[in-house]
Chains A and B, each alone.
Chain A
Amino acid sequence: KQEVTQIPAALSVPEGENLVLNCSFTDSAIYNLQWFRQDPGKGLTSLLLIQSSQREQTSGRLNASLDKSSGRSTLYIAASQPGDSATYLCAVCPPGGGNKLTFGTGTQLKVEL
């Protein structure tokens, strides 16, 4: 059974700092991996999707990497802003799994002024 873990569970950084969020998964047989953002009491916003054949994806100040063989992904946020404060979730999709996502436990990020 796939298990997805995110470290740290919570992170507080000053504005402007670059930071890295970590995601690890136990079964390397994945179809893709996604990073989502969730604001308090809200749904999810997709940030980046990395296919299993890809190493990284970039969108603006966000860069996500994938090392499938070691079961790890990182989300790099450059020049953090208070508006980046949210919970970040990673999720993996199994091959041929009908897009049934397994979510990580999340990292709650707070960017302080």
Chain B
Amino acid sequence: GAVVSQHPSWVICKSGTSVKIECRSLDFQATTMFWYRQFPKQSLMLMATSNEGSKATYEQGVEKDKFLINHASLTLSTLTVTSAHPEDSSFYICSASGDYPEIQYFGAGTRLSVL
């Protein structure tokens, strides 16, 4: 149980386009979802926390207009990278927690390459 599906696993896009990444909890209700960013050979950096039905809370230094997060249901959160640029190229990982908030279940990640 406790599976988090992230889609797509890999996306290549042109500079200036927007990219949407989906994160779904398949077998539990995710009251909270987290979005992380990971650069090569570096650790995960929390970008934002989202609770179902409310606005996401962004970490310091993360542009909320650049990285749009929607958590419209208890099983789905989306991250949209707007007007992507090459410096946005990174590995994005989502996680979700439900009845046991201290337990986060992670998606497999999305590798974004902006040309």
**Interface set of A (CB-CB < 8 Å, partner B):** 4, 31-32, 36, 41-46, 49, 89, 91, 93, 98-106
* Interface contact B44-A99, CB-CB below 8 Å: no
Query: What is the distance, in angstroms, from B54's C-beta to the closest C-beta of chain A?
Result: 13
| Complex: A32 Cα to B45 Cα, angstroms | 18
Q: Separation in Å of the A53 CB from the closest CB of chain B?
A: 13
Residues of the B chain whose Cβ atoms lie less than 8 Å from the Cβ of A31: 102
Q: For chain B, what secondary structure do more than half of its interface residues adopt (helix, strand, loop), or is it mixed?
A: strand
**Complex Cα distance A43/B36, Å?**
11
Number of residues from B at the complex interface, CB < 8 A: 24
Q: Is the CB of B109 within 8 A of A43?
A: yes
Mark out the residues of chain B between 37 and 94 whose CB falls within 8 Å of any chain A CB in the assembled complex: 42-46, 49, 91, 93
Contacts of B45 in A (CB 8 A): 103
Q: Which of B6, B104, B105 contacts A101 (CB 8 A)?
A: B104
| CB-defined contacts of A43 to chain B, threshold 8 Å | 4, 6, 93, 106-109
Provide the residues of chain B in CB contact with A100, threshold 8 Å: 34, 46, 49
* Assembled-state Cα–Cα distance A97/B17 (Å): 35
Rounded to whole angstroms, the CA-CA distance of A44 and B44 in the bound complex is 10
Query: How far is B38's CA from A89's CA once the two chains are assembled, in angstroms?
Result: 12
Q: In the bound complex, do residue A41 and residue B109 qualify as a contact, i.e. CB atoms below 8 Å apart?
A: yes
A-side contacts of B111, CB under 8 Å: 41
On whether the beta carbons of A99 and B43 are closer than 8 Å, the reply is no
Residue of A nearest to B4 (CB): A43
**Which A residues lie within 8 Å of B101 (CB)?**
98-99
Q: How far is the CA of A59 from the CA of B4 in the complex (A)?
A: 23
A-B contact pairs, 9 of them (CB 8 A): A32-B102, A43-B106, A46-B106, A89-B44, A98-B49, A99-B32, A99-B97, A100-B49, A103-B45
The answer to whether A44 touches B49 (Cβ under 8 A) is no
Q: Are A42 and B109 in contact (CB under 8 A)?
A: yes
Closest 8 CB pairs of A and B: A44-B106, A43-B106, A43-B108, A103-B43, A103-B44, A43-B109, A105-B43, A99-B101
B108 with A42: CB separation less than 8 A: yes
